[in-house]
Amino acid sequence: EDQVTQSPEALRLQEGESSSLNCSYTVSGLRGLFWYRQDPGKGPEFLFTLYSAGEEKEKERLKATLTKKESFLHITAPKPEDSATYLCAVQAAGQAGTALIFGKGTTLSVSS
Amino acid sequence: ETGVTQTPRHLVMGMTNKKSLKCEQHLGHNAMYWYKQSAKKPLELMFVYNFKEQTENNSVPSRFSPECPNSSHLFLHLHTLQPEDSALYLCASSQEWLSNTEAFFGQGTRLTVV
């Protein structure tokens, strides 16, 4: 069964304290892995797409990496405005029309 | 105009009411989706429309009825809902159902069933 597990469930950081969020996945074949950011009461905002192991994408203080079993979202020197829930989703290959499978998310709190 | 717009943002309805959620996308996409987001649970796919045709119904109860009159608009008609249907309902769109491009989400409708 295709599955996405995110850890930790919640993460508290001090401003400037770098860390990583983990997304482990089990799929029959990966077509794409997606990272989203979601603020309370709002819809998910697209951040990155990764397609193959070894790929990396960067945006401001965020960097996403991908291996054959997991993805990491590295946050360098976070600021309070980075506080949000970060969602990971995968799209599986081999089955036409498969939609995104989401993890439960990691809620990040950054204090000044 | 933002990419994907949902109305209303908040809705409170009784179990005997009938209401509709509306979604509009201005991205030129051909696939549109309804997702349900409940507390402490992953986003759950409800329905998929690709070029106005329904391609997925993820075992959703019949009290939820989708409608897609064209590639830019998507509705979710609600009737005789239960309190456990209270959740954030999210609309999304992507280039095409079979593509592996990203989906863009609306702000959601926070639904409370009383």
Q: What does the pLDDT look like over B2-59, one tens digit per residue?
A: 699 999 999 999 999 999 999 999 999 999 999 999 988 999 999 989 888 887 777 8
In this structure, are residues A101 and A27 in contact, taking their beta carbons and an 8 Å threshold?
yes
> Which residues does chain B have within 8 Å of residue A101's beta carbon, measured at their own beta carbons?
42
Nearest alpha-carbon partner for B5 in B74, B85, B67, B56? B74
Give the H/E segment covering residue B43: none
**How much is the CA Rg of chain A, to the nearest whole Å?**
14
Which residues have C-beta within 8 Å of that of residue A70, sequence separation ≥ 6?
A22, A23, A24, A25
Determine which of A102, A104, A106, A107 to mutate to test the interface with B (most B C-beta atoms within 10 Å).
A102
Residue of chain B whose Cα is closest to the Cα of A51 = B100
| Window 79-98 of B, Cβ < 8 Å to A | 88, 90, 92, 97-98
Q: Is A41 helix (H, G, I), strand (E, B) or coil?
A: coil
Nearest alpha-carbon partner for B25 in B40, B3, B6, B10? B3
Regions in chain A scoring below 70 on pLDDT? 94-98
Contact yes or no for A41 and B110 at CB 8 A = yes
Specify burial of residue A90 (Cβ count, 10 A radius: 0-12, 13-18, 19+): buried
pLDDT, one tens digit per residue, over B79-94 is 999 999 999 999 999 9
> Which residues does chain B have within 8 Å of residue A89's beta carbon, measured at their own beta carbons?
43
Q: Is the pLDDT of residue B113 over 90?
A: yes
At A95 the pLDDT is: 52
d(CA B6, CA B23): 4
d(CA B17, CA B11): 11
**Token couple for B81:** 């809902």
Determine which of B41, B51, B102, B104 to mutate to test the interface with A (most A C-beta atoms within 10 Å).
B102
How many residues would you count in chain A?
A: 112
